[in-house]
Structure 1
Amino acid sequence: MAFTVFALQLAVRLLSFPMYLLDFLGLWNWIAKKCFPHFMVRFTLMYNEQMASKKRELFSTLQGFAGPSGKLSLLEVGCGTGANFRFYPPGCQVTCVDPNPNFEKFLFKSVAENRHLQFERFVVAAGENMHQVADGSVDAVVCTLVLCSVQNQEQILQEVRRVLRPGGAFYFMEHVADERSTWNYFWQQVLDPAWCLLFDGCNLTRESWKALERAGFSELKLQHLQAPLSWALVRPHICGYAVK
């Protein structure tokens, strides 16, 4: 089976040769950073339509982590186009972090469409290094479809714990590797190298729940599910929250 996966991965790489050549020349990353936000505008519309009930259920408890003033201070890591804004509670004070500055115009369009929120600022930074955000300064951190593409999951989770106040919560919704005995996992392995280049660092085979279990949160509420999505490769999901 391992040889079959390797052989098919090689075939996919050969078919994707122009993409790999551009990456070798140092051009692909620039192209991907420019084009990816346009893809995400369309993808998140589809994703929100199919996952709306799951997102509403997940974020329904956010307000319970508000500080003494009743205001919820929220940091979204890997905010992208602002696709989660409509699911946040009214009056929520939102700070956004994303390493791709090309998301900014799409993000501010979402801000304009979600006047129930109090938008604070947009910080261009990787989640692994959010030094612009002070220690213990937010009530909640959110990331959705982010842990699949970060360089270092352990480091980003350390940063999440650093910026959360004691008793604050980290909310997540992520696609992950399928069970290893499934055909879907077989195809996740085959397509992962090309998928990672095509979708700006996204990995199909990450077992992100393991990083969350090791992150040192005092409480972890985590659910595995098969998301009602059109693409089978990204149907395996985890969602839930962890308390500092």
Structure 2
Amino acid sequence: MALTVSIVQLAISVIAFPIFLLHFLGLWDRTCKKLFPYFMEQVTKSYNREMSAKKQELFSNLQDFAGSSGKVTLMEIGCGTGANFKFYPPGCRITCVDPNPNFEKFLIKSIAENQHLQFERFIVAPGEDMPQIADNSMDVVVCTLVLCSVEQQEKFIKEMYRVLRPGGAFYFMEHVAAEPSSWNFFWQQALKPTWQLMFDGCDLTRETWKALERGSFSKLNLQHLQAPLSWKIIRPHIVGYATK
């Protein structure tokens, strides 16, 4: 099976040769960073249509973690185009973090369309290193479709844990590796090198639930599911929240 995967990987890489060449020449990453927000803007619309019910269910108890002011102080890491804003309760104070500065103009547009939220600031930083955010300062941290592209998941989770106040919650919705014996997993492996290059580091074979289980959370509510998505390759998902 491993040999077959390698052969198919090679065939796909040959087809995608121009992208690999641009990457080798140092031109692809810069181009990808600029174009990726436009791609994600369209993906977000499709993903939210298909996952709306799941997102509403996931974020239904966000208000339970509000601070003494009655408002939720929320930080979204890998905020992208603001895909989750419409699912947050009124009055949420939002801090947005993303390593790609090219998302900012899309984020401003989303903020304008979601007047029920109180926007605080946009910070350009990787989730693994956020010195601008104080310890124990957030009621809630959210990331969706982000942990697939994080280089150091456990460092990311430790940093997120640091900024959460005691009793605060981390919400997640992530695509993950399929069952090892499935055809879906075969294609995840076969597509992995090209997919990572095309989609800004996204790894189709991440077993993200293991990193979350190793975290220091007092409680972890985690569900595996097959998401109702058109793209079968990313249907395996984990969804839930963890409390500090």
User: TM-score under structure 2 normalisation?
Assistant: 0.99
> 1:14 and 1:50 mapped to 2: Cα distance?
33
Q: Give the match for residue 43 of structure 2.
A: 43
> 1:28 and 1:35 mapped to 2: Cα distance?
10
Amino acid at match of 1:166: P
Instruction: Give 1:187 shift.
Output: 0.4
Q: Give the match for residue 59 of structure 1.
A: 59
SS at structure 2 position matched to 1:196: helix
SS at structure 1 position matched to 2:172: strand
Structure 1 stretch 62-71 or stretch 169-178: which is displaced more? 62-71
Instruction: Give 1:10 shift.
Output: 1.1
What whole-Å deviation, never above 9, does each CA across 1:106-155 have from its counterpart, x for those lacking one? 00000000000000000000001011100000000000000000111001
SS at structure 1 position matched to 2:202: coil
Q: Give the match for residue 68 of structure 1.
A: 68
Amino acid at match of 1:191: L
Q: Give the match for residue 173 of structure 1.
A: 173
Amino acid at match of 1:30: R
> 2:2 and 2:150 mapped to 1: Cα distance?
26
SS at structure 1 position matched to 2:7: helix
> 2:54 and 2:224 mapped to 1: Cα distance?
12
Amino acid at match of 2:191: L
> 1:156 and 1:28 mapped to 2: Cα distance?
25
Aligned 1:156-171 pairs, distance under 5 A? 156-171=156-171
The runs of at least 4 consecutive aligned structure 1 residues that moved more than 6 Å come to none
> 1:139 and 1:36 mapped to 2: Cα distance?
30
Aligned 1:56-135 pairs, distance under 5 A? 56-135=56-135
> 1:18 and 1:216 mapped to 2: Cα distance?
43
Structure 1 stretch 78-87 or stretch 3-12: which is displaced more? 3-12
What whole-Å deviation, never above 9, does each CA across 1:165-211 have from its counterpart, x for those lacking one? 00100000000000011100000000011000001111100000000
Instruction: Give 1:97 shift.
Output: 0.0
Instruction: Give 1:69 shift.
Output: 1.6
> 2:240 and 2:53 mapped to 1: Cα distance?
14
> 2:29 and 2:86 mapped to 1: Cα distance?
30
SS at structure 1 position matched to 2:46: helix
| Structure 1 spans left out of the alignment, 5+ residues | none
SS at structure 1 position matched to 2:130: coil
> 1:33 and 1:47 mapped to 2: Cα distance?
20
> 1:7 and 1:173 mapped to 2: Cα distance?
32
SS at structure 1 position matched to 2:96: strand
> 1:240 and 1:11 mapped to 2: Cα distance?
37
Q: Give the match for residue 196 of structure 2.
A: 196
SS at structure 1 position matched to 2:103: helix
SS at structure 2 position matched to 1:60: helix
Give the share of equivalent positions with the same residue, in percent: 68
Q: Give the match for residue 229 of structure 1.
A: 229
What whole-Å deviation, never above 9, does each CA across 1:204-226 have from its counterpart, x for those lacking one? 00000000000111110000000
Q: Give the match for residue 151 of structure 2.
A: 151
| Structure 2 spans left out of the alignment, 5+ residues | none
Instruction: Give 1:52 shift.
Output: 0.3
> 2:37 and 2:144 mapped to 1: Cα distance?
15
> 1:121 and 1:68 mapped to 2: Cα distance?
21
> 2:127 and 2:137 mapped to 1: Cα distance?
15
> 1:161 and 1:150 mapped to 2: Cα distance?
16
